[in-house]
Structure 1
């Protein structure tokens, strides 16, 4: 009975993913069965994508602005927050670097299917395709000269910068800005609910899209996803086993490695079972207590890390970009691209935090930043994101737990764990 209840809980937690994959699978089968005749269903996918694109701009603005506006200042916590930020950033960069090295060693082949998909994207959206080839300076990327231009998806970086400035300006306004903070929070909640409503038709919309893609490009389309998914799962498994052990060793030596893996099973299974970093917070806090992490550290690191610290998402961002670079004939290994890819990866992991289905918003940001045609690139990125979600959540959520140990080591010294265990005895 307990097993049945647990199985039903897992099914319920994965319901959105199961619905989405059911829609995509049904669409692929229709494409196989009816070929080019399914082209008449493409409008259903276009409706879904258009609704998603329309919601993105206000959602990103209100999410970022309200988050900054609600920050609390305090001198006593300043040093601790600095350590937390450094640990979060370091592990995100390291995870992205691991995935980058894997993709450089095993590059995604630019096969005929990917080239044909890119050519079709150019025909479907010549404006976006021409924008990809154009060059712009830094001022044009980060700013616009008219407020109305912030509403365009092509100016996503400018929108994010403006949202950050609005948030900080609200923070500086203090008591006089309290009413505006309330407006930002209310609008942010409304936009989250709007995104949730739109995502309810995602199985139908993406199903229609893939029916069209399979009908046009044939069965070989499925093979496009096999290599990147295999590389991602193997890389994440290796990163989880090797790097998390190294992080635990840094935190407290061999004793840290033993105590981390001894108490890690429940949070790990919770992360996989719920596919949610937020839902894993209680299990992480309980495990941190058993690992002797001080409460004043774990109570900050773990809740803060759930929306902001995402090793798995940083690795999935790399794999998505690698596929899109191959799809549109760009050189993923070009030296000038490395800093841009790393920067986008860090920003995407932050943008995606705290938003239901927020990974899709991060994908839009990455696609826009590199000038890929949105209508063709987003569904591909969304499918990859859905397929890698379980192990990405494992790394995201468990990364918060191991980060709490690392923060404790920096804040309280390398002998913190042995001292706490000896004091208990």
Structure 2
């Protein structure tokens, strides 16, 4: 990475928001709505190209990283030790995130602050319902679909979790094979990872310009009116995310002795990229590099925990979803029983893990479930209107959670033990 990369990203962010507000028809009105909406896609072009390039390379990068991470553990006992700790840790932090989201939502009650004018501006329920069709699936169905069966279909649907599970199977199998049989495949995956990282390196040179284009386009379309009308809801979610960030800092300090300010100084580039792109996958290579070079996490942990976490460790998303769900119930005066709250919590954990990576899909799944307990579907429009803004915030927390998990696993599994094992040359 170039020096002062983080500064270039900040300049792109600030200039994108400022120019977006100037061009937004709902803010200053310097240009009409049709012209502004016609300009927005061209401004976002380089940003969309950046995201598509990352999507193009993310599957080979994730698979090669996880396979190398697993095989670099050296034996199945170390891998079992890591796996038995990372799974409950991910579940624990997700439960904490859901608890924080529920707490801030019930204390601040953002659903009671929405004005009647905003409620009258909601689109018809039929119009919104079209975007939620065929998105709901039960939790057992989601679990069954985790089994890697059809790789072509998974790639078309952008289901990275499928390839994570497939890579885990392959890594464990290679670890149990004879060296002469596994070595050709290990060398292939090492070359594949080096190839993927080369493409990522080229793509990251576009990042500051991509950040400018994406934020400018979003600001043109959203404007200040939509943000101001939902400011209390936005503040509630952000407050919950900040509380979750503080929880991470406490965990890091207790397990690794790293102060919050020192931690922020080491991971600021990762957080800026996550905030700008709203994509954990886009930031994953930078997360791995930061974990290994700045946080001193062994490659055998970073190359396993971070790709896995980028897919299943979505604490920020879980917190956001439960805040959005409770916001909808408050908005329409729906009282939830204890059992319904429990079901909502379990569903939130499942949705944050199994939902596709498309922005907004997770909350649409939850909103579809909430219809069964009396929440009108048109309320989804309010959430989707500011979803991209909050998506940027929750993605920042998601990648921070992955880096936190890598530090915790380094402490729990034992850094010296892992570093003493041979790591394939990649």
CA deviation string 1:326-375 (max 9, x = no partner): 2222125x42332122222212222345x2xx23111121011111444x
The answer to whether the Cα contact below 8 Å between 1:351 and 1:361 also exists between their aligned partners in 2 is: no
Q: 2:291 aligns with which of 270, 288, 293?
A: 288
Name the CA shift for 1:19/1:382 in 2 (closer, same or farther; >3 Å): farther
The match for 1:55 is none
**How far does residue 94 in structure 1 lie from its aligned partner after superposition?**
0.9
Q: For residues 125 and 114 of structure 1, what CA distance do their matches in structure 2 show?
A: 20
The answer to whether the Cα contact below 8 Å between 2:275 and 2:393 also exists between their aligned partners in 1 is: yes
Structure 1, unaligned runs of 5 or more: 35-66, 129-151, 172-180, 192-199, 421-425
Q: 2:308 aligns with which of 297, 304, 308?
A: 304
The match for 1:229 is 234
Name the CA shift for 1:85/1:315 in 2 (closer, same or farther; >3 Å): same
The match for 2:137 is 157
Q: For residues 128 and 154 of structure 2, what CA distance do their matches in structure 1 show?
A: 35
**How far does residue 157 in structure 1 lie from its aligned partner after superposition?**
2.8
The answer to whether the Cα contact below 8 Å between 1:114 and 1:328 also exists between their aligned partners in 2 is: no
Aligned with 1:278: secondary structure?
helix
Q: For residues 301 and 13 of structure 1, what CA distance do their matches in structure 2 show?
A: 32
Q: How does 1:35-50 map to 2 (within 5 A)?
A: none
Structure 2, unaligned runs of 5 or more: 34-61, 161-213, 420-426
The answer to whether the Cα contact below 8 Å between 2:5 and 2:269 also exists between their aligned partners in 1 is: no
Q: How does 1:95-244 map to 2 (within 5 A)?
A: 95-110=97-112, 113=115, 117=119, 124-125=125-126, 153=133, 156-158=136-138, 161-162=140-141, 164-165=143-144, 167-168=146-147, 181-188=150-157, 224-240=229-245, 242-244=246-248
CA deviation string 1:162-220 (max 9, x = no partner): 3542553x65xxxxxxxxx24423543599xxxxxxxx9xx89x96xx99xx9xxxx8x
Tell me whether 1:245 sits opposite 2:249 in the alignment. Answer: yes
Higher relative contact order (CA 8 A, sep 6+): 2
The answer to whether the Cα contact below 8 Å between 1:14 and 1:275 also exists between their aligned partners in 2 is: no
Tell me whether 1:275 sits opposite 2:278 in the alignment. Answer: yes
**How far does residue 404 in structure 1 lie from its aligned partner after superposition?**
0.5
The answer to whether the Cα contact below 8 Å between 1:96 and 1:318 also exists between their aligned partners in 2 is: yes
RMSD value over aligned CA atoms? 4.8
The answer to whether the Cα contact below 8 Å between 1:125 and 1:373 also exists between their aligned partners in 2 is: no
Aligned with 1:303: secondary structure?
helix
TM-score normalised over the length of structure 2: 0.59
Q: For residues 246 and 288 of structure 1, what CA distance do their matches in structure 2 show?
A: 18
**How far does residue 283 in structure 1 lie from its aligned partner after superposition?**
2.5
TM-score normalised over the length of structure 1: 0.59
Q: For residues 363 and 263 of structure 1, what CA distance do their matches in structure 2 show?
A: 32
Aligned with 1:94: secondary structure?
helix
CA deviation string 1:281-305 (max 9, x = no partner): 2222222223222211111011111
Structure 1 moving runs of 4+ over 3 Å: 2-15, 17-23, 25-30, 71-79, 109-121, 123-128, 152-155, 160-164, 221-224, 255-262, 416-420
Q: 1:314 aligns with which of 305, 310, 318?
A: 318
The answer to whether the Cα contact below 8 Å between 2:110 and 2:236 also exists between their aligned partners in 1 is: no
Aligned with 1:312: secondary structure?
helix
Aligned with 2:241: secondary structure?
helix
CA deviation string 1:374-409 (max 9, x = no partner): 4x1332222232122332121111110011111222
The match for 2:187 is none
Q: For residues 166 and 394 of structure 1, what CA distance do their matches in structure 2 show?
A: 27
**How far does residue 324 in structure 1 lie from its aligned partner after superposition?**
1.2
The answer to whether the Cα contact below 8 Å between 2:128 and 2:380 also exists between their aligned partners in 1 is: no
Q: How does 1:84-103 map to 2 (within 5 A)?
A: 84-103=86-105
The match for 1:360 is 360
Name the CA shift for 1:258/1:78 in 2 (closer, same or farther; >3 Å): same
Name the count of aligned residue pairs: 318
The answer to whether the Cα contact below 8 Å between 1:307 and 1:350 also exists between their aligned partners in 2 is: yes
Q: 1:266 aligns with which of 263, 266, 269?
A: 269
The answer to whether the Cα contact below 8 Å between 1:100 and 1:318 also exists between their aligned partners in 2 is: yes
Q: How does 1:378-389 map to 2 (within 5 A)?
A: 378-389=380-391
> After alignment, is 182-191 or 83-92 more displaced?
182-191
The match for 2:406 is 404
Name the CA shift for 1:85/1:328 in 2 (closer, same or farther; >3 Å): same
